[in-house]
Amino acid sequence: MTSSPSRGTEFYSYVQCALVVIGFAGTAANALILYALVASKQHKKHVLIFNQNALDLFSSVFTIVTYSLKLCDIYLTGTIGYCLCALLLSDSLIGCGITGSVINLAVITIERYLKVVHSVWSKKKLHKWMTYAAAAFAWIAAIIYNLPLVFTTTAVVDGVCYAYELWGNKMGRMIYTICKIAF
């Protein structure tokens, strides 16, 4: 007879295995799309679409890495243990990719709106450098949004990762939660 906590742990392991499989599917699909864009030389014409797939590929690869490590149940120590905790086991790199993806989708929406609704204006005023800057902004903003927070609220105690757990005060946590919902 199995106790309730072991069934919960077993279920959680199945979920992590499923996430690894989903990560492989996402990696394969996004890598194929990126390859097709490069092979057809469309990656320069559709910079934001290429960037979207690159962000999704980034998230998929780190989903595989993160949840494979979580399945291994590693005992964390020292600086390397803290870095593994903060960057991988906390899902922060996956979060960077997802946040960048959301920002990039908003940029694509704005760009398409301008091209359709204000086509004359966009032909005159929308320059190639703006598109590249917007693509870079998606990456930079995602990193600035995710990484400082994870490093300030994460710790390794007795070999266990406590990500996003150490808040200076309740107000800081509340402000972060409100900003995350609003974003």
Show pLDDT as tens, one digit a residue, over the chain (183 residues).
444 456 667 888 899 999 999 999 999 999 999 999 999 999 989 999 999 999 999 999 999 999 999 999 889 999 999 999 999 999 999 999 999 999 999 999 999 999 999 889 888 888 899 999 999 999 999 999 999 999 999 999 999 999 988 888 888 889 888 988 887
82, 163 contact by CB (below 8 A): no
Choose which CATH entry (1.10.630.10, 2.60.15.10, 1.20.1070.10, 2.60.40.10) describes domain 4-182.
1.20.1070.10
Q: Which pTM was predicted?
A: 0.86
Considering all CA atoms of the chain, what is the largest pairwise distance in Å, rounded to the nearest integer?
72
pLDDT score at 1: 41
Domain ranges for the chain:
4-182
Rounded CA-CA distance 74/123 in Å is: 54
Task: Say which residue the tokens 């995710």 belong to.
Answer: 146
Q: Give the per-residue pLDDT at 133.
A: 96
The letter for the amino acid at 66 is T
Look up tokens 């757990």; give the residue: 165
Cβ-count burial of 141 within 10 angstroms (0-12 exposed, 13-18 middle, 19+ buried)? middle
Please state, in angstroms and rounded to a whole number, the distance separating the CA atoms of residues 152 and 95: 16
3-state helix, strand, coil in the chain (%, to 5): 80, 5, 15
